[in-house]
Amino acid sequence: MGEETLPERDDCPAANGHDEHQHKPQPEPPLEPQLEHDGDTVVTDAAPESVSTGETHDSPNTLPTTAGRSPAETEVEVKQEKRTIDDVDFEDSTHTNGKAEVDISQKSVIVPAVPPKVTYIPLKTGLCYDVRMRYHAKIFTSYYEYIDPHPEDPRRIYRIYKILAEAGLITDPTLSGIDDIGDLMLKIPVREAKPEEILQVHTEEHLKFLESTPSMTKEKLMEETEKGDSIYFNHDSFLGAKLSCGGAIEACKAVVEGSVKNSLAVVRPPGHHAEPDAPGGFCLFSNVAVAAKNILKNYPESVRKIVVVDWDVHHGNGTQKAFWDDPRVLYISLHRYEAGKYYPGTIAGAHHQVGEGKGEGTNLNIPWPIGGMGDGDYIYAFREVIMPVCYEFDPDLVIISSGFDAADGDMIGQCHVSPAGYAHMTHMLKSLANGNLVVVLEGGYNLDSIAVSALAVAKVLVGEPPGQLKTTVPKIEAVETIDKVIEVQSKYFKSLKPGHSAVDHSIPSGDGNKNFNLQEAIRFQQAHDLITRHKLINLPILNDKLSNDTENQILATPDIYDSETIIVAVHDPAEVWGKVDPVTGLINPNGSLIIDSTLKILEWSKKEKHGYIDVNIPEADDSFNTAQEVLLYIWDNYIQYFKAQKVVLVGYGDAYSGIVHLIGHRDVRDVVKAAIAFIDRKPLRAIVPLVDEAVTDWFFKNSLVFTSKNHSCWGIDGSETKKPRRKFGRVLKTDVDGLDNIVEERFDEAVDFILDSIEDYESSSS
């Protein structure tokens, strides 16, 4: 016998989950009618029995009438045998908890049922995938290449497609690329890009070269592989490149035409390194650039502006070049840069590369100075720069050059973006361009990392919320990089103006200029204090090749010529803690402080009656070379003619590079007894011994280099236990961050080292 169906009643104990012996309904007080007047309709929440003729209503819910009577008197005709409100028979109604449930079919229709007036939600997410793109592969020349395959592995797209099926986003049991892939995603057929489409970006010579590869001999293909810039070829490479490029075009077309709400192009080979006239960096055609150019050409009314966000860990030099002077496309790239040393190894990815001509201000690079960047850094970049700029640019289509080589676990990128990080970035970009978003695969070389990252992006595309982030706190290097980017890009985007007012940061020389560099004023005050309070004198620089303004850049104690021991302090301009207006970026002088970290060594030198030289190295684009030249000049023209037998070199900040250069280029070992450096997070400088090879060992023995706890030489999270090489000197990790904090923490240790070095010299010479 089947289960008995229980009646759905509030007074049924089995229905409401209570035992009938425990369920004892309590009498309710009579309710006043709560009336709402809607046109000709009166609705009451009270039981019909509570409505009576002639009842006076003093409730605040009583509706006023022109006759001064209550709504019950004017709108409700009450009869003893039958009570009616707007011709609705309460005797035909169901009473529940003292309320009348009225059959809607007996009431006049106010809002008829209509289909949902939405166009985005009912659509599926498009998916481009074709197994033929896996045929492009490196020709194996040895067994080792078979067991350790090329990082741009054909399995990359297979693993992404497979995990989409495992997660239920698509249905394809055989993983063969069938047409009907389920309810969430729609298969977008992949086709070969046409020559006229490719030529929108690439030169005819470039296209002809790739057209020739299917007919090349195996030996010729291997020769071209060796000659190329991180690329390989086989007989199917040209087909794979055309399919990859054509897939990107079709993914964009499907979104623009409204066939899908957004799309994911799981394609290879990647494209963003391919320049107009040459392949490179695993890329044959510039897929995203070709797709964007053709969309702009074929849909001029619906797509006028496109944003390309490239979060591949490498700079997309090919995509950037394709739109360098095109104001219709805003190209944004977040990438590992390392002063241009990271692939592709040029300055094209620098933050000051902004485009030219009509395209000036539509190229935005966010160059990470180190590896190891993670969720907090990328989300910070999106929040502070990318999203404000994209909102202001107001695109009609957004394309993500989605490399996953910044993902946690990728050994090439060595960064730590989590799947949730990629999901959050995708979620933010979905808010642009009415949701017209296309994700096109670029790099990513750890098969597990690329799969889970792509899955996280795909889930957001179909409508899932992003997952929880690993961290939201950016690294110091990220904050500094973003500040540099904003300083440059605030010229082109009003949304970046707060804190960076429209001041021309270039300081031209000449009389009448209302702007001047603050470091000049700071040095003027610093020199004034050293001269008046500490009685230092100026040591002139008689060399036109050095800075034009050398007045008071080198100061010394009056007895410097006769001092037996000299302390030489070489430093960057004094640091400033500024109280900054958040809107204009102007500094409030009254609330700002100059922090001079060199005063402690000066006071100690005076106490010990040592000679002292203060060397200020003005910060400029070539300050590294300036420090080198100034130190050589001081040594060649002053110190070697003094009576000093013991010299101690103390460097602060990046200016210490001049000390390292001096020790490598002059034989100072008979006179210099110690070299101390407080460098915070400035780069380590390796000694280049032009005198003899023993200088490296001498430098390591006689130096102390104090770094921040967050210095990159100690690894991404400061856990690196392997010390830097001896050519950098004896490098020590402090427990603090910030130059002044490091000096405070390690000054006594530095002084003890100086005293030991001097005493060792005195004991050996006696």
Listed in sequence order, the residues at least 6 apart from 21 whose beta carbon sits closer than 8 Å to its beta carbon are none
Given the residues 206, 273, 424, 571, the one annotated as active site: 273
Are the C-beta atoms of residues 288 and 308 closer than 8 Å to each other?
Answer: yes
Are the C-beta atoms of residues 287 and 263 closer than 8 Å to each other?
Answer: no
Q: What is the 3-state secondary structure (H, E, C) of 610-669?
A: CEEEEEECCCCCCHHHHHHHHHHHHHHHCHHHCCCCEEEEEEEHHHHHHHHHHHHHCCCC
- For 637-667, letters b (16+ CB in 10 Å) and e give ebbeebebbbbbbbbbbbbbbbbbbbbbbbe
Listed in sequence order, the residues at least 6 apart from 228 whose beta carbon sits closer than 8 Å to its beta carbon are 279, 280
DSSP bridge partners of 128: 265
Specify burial of residue 219 (Cβ count, 10 A radius: 0-12, 13-18, 19+): exposed
Under DSSP, the state recorded for 680 is E
> In terms of residues, how long is the chain?
766
d(CA 522, CA 708): 25
Classify strands 185-187 and 125-128 as parallel, antiparallel or unpaired: parallel
Q: Among all chains, which residue has been given the structure tokens 């741009």?
A: 152
Angle between helices 694-701 and 657-665 (to 10 degrees): 140
User: Of 298, 268, 239, 267, which is closest to residue 127 (Cα–Cα)?
Assistant: 267
User: Of 545, 534, 384, 361, which is closest to residue 474 (Cα–Cα)?
Assistant: 384
For residue 104, which phi and psi values (nearest 5 degrees)?
-60, -30
**Structure token pair of residue 347:** 């300055």
Cα Rg for the chain, rounded, in angstroms? 37
- The full DSSP string for 62-110 is PPP-TTS--HHHHT--B-SS-BEETTEEGGGSEEETTEEE--GGGSPPS
d(CA 295, CA 598): 60
d(CA 17, CA 496): 59
Specify burial of residue 87 (Cβ count, 10 A radius: 0-12, 13-18, 19+): exposed
User: Of 315, 313, 287, which is closest to residue 133 (Cα–Cα)?
Assistant: 287
DSSP bridge partners of 43: 36
Give the three-state DSSP class for 698.
Answer: helix
Q: How many helices (H) and strands (E) does the chain have?
A: 21, 24
Tell whether the torsion through CA atoms of 633, 634, 638 and 639 is positive or negative: negative
d(CA 308, CA 168): 29
Active site residue 272: no
Angle between helices 237-256 and 204-212 (to 10 degrees): 130
Are the C-beta atoms of residues 711 and 733 closer than 8 Å to each other?
Answer: yes
For residue 327, which phi and psi values (nearest 5 degrees)?
-75, -10
Specify burial of residue 103 (Cβ count, 10 A radius: 0-12, 13-18, 19+): exposed
Catalytic residues: 273
